[in-house]
Chains A and B, each alone.
Chain A
Amino acid sequence: MTFPAVDFTIQGYGWEFDPAYVRTEFASGNTRQRKLMRKNNDVFSCRHVFTDAEALTMETYINTTLDKGSLTDTMPYYISEVEFTGTGQILDGSYNIQMVNNDLWEFTYNIEIIDRDLTGEGNVYAVVNAYSGFDNAYNIFASLEDMVNNNTL
């Protein structure tokens, strides 16, 4: 069983990056801030509204396929409404279900994407800088034409 086909964008999602910096403040002199680890995981909060059957499918997936959250699997996550996939796990193996209407359930949980891939973010960064900012990148048609004709991506 793979991750159930669910839609994050309809119900909302958010995410958090905690790089675990070590900050040291001194009586005099600047504060030092150092990264504790090279790799970091991102936590995404997800919220869906499921029917009875969909909620049951999601519960089965978490409790059986993921062994109550102890196992990892390929999971979808959304960055600015674009879907990516990565290896993740249900944080603490816990989820929350609340009835919102007859046959409708609000299903919330957090997933931790392990060592999130930033290749897509790097591509956006490169394109925007190549066009000297978002003012030019907003003109997506001109940018696309230039990228295709001049192979500048």
Chain B
Amino acid sequence: MSTLSYFDPWLISYNQSVRNPVRRTENIGKKTQGKNSHREIVTASASRVLIGAQVPYFEYFIREVADGGKFTDYYADGSGVQQGEIRIIGGYRISPSNGHFVIDCDIEVFA
């Protein structure tokens, strides 16, 4: 199966945000806050360091294979290395750093 799991995991920075599915409504002064669903949206800014041929492999996978969809990958957050479904939100930026290439992007983590 096509995968990005050949690489070291995504490093998720600690500004990870979780939007719980709670809705607040107001009806003639009475405010109500309740849960709509058990789903939550988890997004985080992530980075990954690649080298050499890993860069074209990554770009082809994201743009032609995943094509904006979900894929299974490793990521490291405050709880250690996890494996799960993620999706890149929008695009990514690549910048060189001492012979390596740093990928920066926002990802959505699915439970």
Binding site for B on A (CB under 8 A): 12-21, 23, 25, 27-31, 33-35, 79-80, 118, 120-122, 124-125, 128-129, 133-135, 137
The interface residues of chain B lying within 8 Å CB-to-CB of A19 are: 63, 68, 90-91
Bound CA–CA A35/B57 (angstroms): 21
Would A27 and B23 count as touching, CB distance under 8 A?
Answer: yes
Known: A19-B90, A133-B6, A134-B54. 6 other contacts (CB 8 A): A18-B91, A19-B63, A21-B68, A25-B41, A31-B108, A128-B57
Q: Mark B43-79, 1 if CB is under 8 A from A, else 0.
A: 0000000001111110111111101100000000000
Within 8 Å by CB of B53, from A13, A124, A129, lies A124
Bound CA–CA A129/B89 (angstroms): 25
Would B89 and A33 count as touching, CB distance under 8 A?
Answer: yes
Would A125 and B92 count as touching, CB distance under 8 A?
Answer: no
Would A17 and B91 count as touching, CB distance under 8 A?
Answer: yes
The interface residues of chain B lying within 8 Å CB-to-CB of A21 are: 68, 89-90
Would A35 and B59 count as touching, CB distance under 8 A?
Answer: no
The interface residues of chain B lying within 8 Å CB-to-CB of A122 are: 60, 64
Would B91 and A27 count as touching, CB distance under 8 A?
Answer: no
The interface residues of chain B lying within 8 Å CB-to-CB of A31 are: 41, 108
Interface residues of B in 72-105 (CB under 8 A from A): 87, 89-96, 101
Most chain-A CB neighbours within 10 Å: which of B21, B41, B53? B53
The interface residues of chain A lying within 8 Å CB-to-CB of B33 are: none
